[in-house]
Amino acid sequence: MGRTLTIYWDVKDNVFRDSGGVQLRSADFPFINFKENPLINLQLVTDSLLTELTDLNDLVSTAEFRVAVDDDFDDSSTVLCRATHSMFNKTGEWEVESTGTADEALGQFSFYLNANTTELDDALGSNARINNSKMELIIEDTPGGVVCAVYRFPFRCRNLIDPTGTSPTTIADTYAKGTISIPNGVNSVSVTGLGLSVPVDVALVSVGKPSALDSNIFGTVVEDSKDTDGFDVEFSANMPAAGYILNYLAWT
């Protein structure tokens, strides 16, 4: 079940009002999110008492309704979102009152508005929102006939931070670090099991000795051994005792 967006538009003063008739601040203007499909309950009123608009009484028997959301008036381009006549005023979709069905004769319009469109995605791009977009309700006396009424008001479009749900690259995919024990007597070891997404680019290693009395041993990375699984390290001498460790940091 999606969001229900109730809109009171005062056609006389050209302002939004809340359910108590108070004029809305711009911060509270209605909006739609990319990929959203909310149920719109649009009530046209004529004053702060939320008096219902009845000017359409003579039209409703034959009238055709349509809604569009767009950010320009270029009729050569497709609008961002649209609701056609067949989508209007379905039984049970009017949630403003208990009647359950919007009444056009009282300036009531209910419809679902699908914002999962390529046009909206392209218009938003990498922007957080489109602030200059508007919703336009057009009423014709008959389908394709004379336009008898047009009601237009601000209707913002908002983007999503995560529209596709694609998982981000984790740290484990780009770098790895760890410590391994170096067996006594060996002069090389292999660091394995890193599971990186691409081969190691840079690897830093250091050799830790058991105590201050033990010999200093240095490790060198074998460059042509580096791959997604790990790399090889050669030492300046054979390990003279147990307890030596190799510390490594590798990244891609």
The full DSSP string for the chain is ---EEEEEEETTTTEEE-TTSPBPPGGG--EEETT--PEEEEEEESSTT-PBP-TTTTTTTT-EEEEEEESS--TTS--SEEE-GGGSS-TT-B-SSTTBS--GGGTEEEEE-----HHHHHHHTT-SEESS-EEEEEEESSTTS-EEEEEEEE-EEE--S-SS-PPPPPGGGTEEEEEEE--TT-SEEEE-----SS--SEEEEEEE-SSTTSPP--EEEEGGG--SS-EEEEESS---STT-EEEEEEE-
pLDDT at 79 over 80: yes
pLDDT value of position 173: 73
Q: What is the mean pLDDT of residues 132-139?
A: 96
pLDDT at 169 over 80: no
User: For residue 142, what pLDDT band results from cuts at 50, 70 and 90?
Assistant: confident
Q: What is the mean pLDDT of residues 126-142?
A: 94
pLDDT value of position 62: 80
pLDDT at 98 over 80: no
pLDDT value of position 99: 67
pLDDT value of position 167: 80
* Mean of the per-residue pLDDT values of the chain: 93
User: For residue 60, what pLDDT band results from cuts at 50, 70 and 90?
Assistant: low
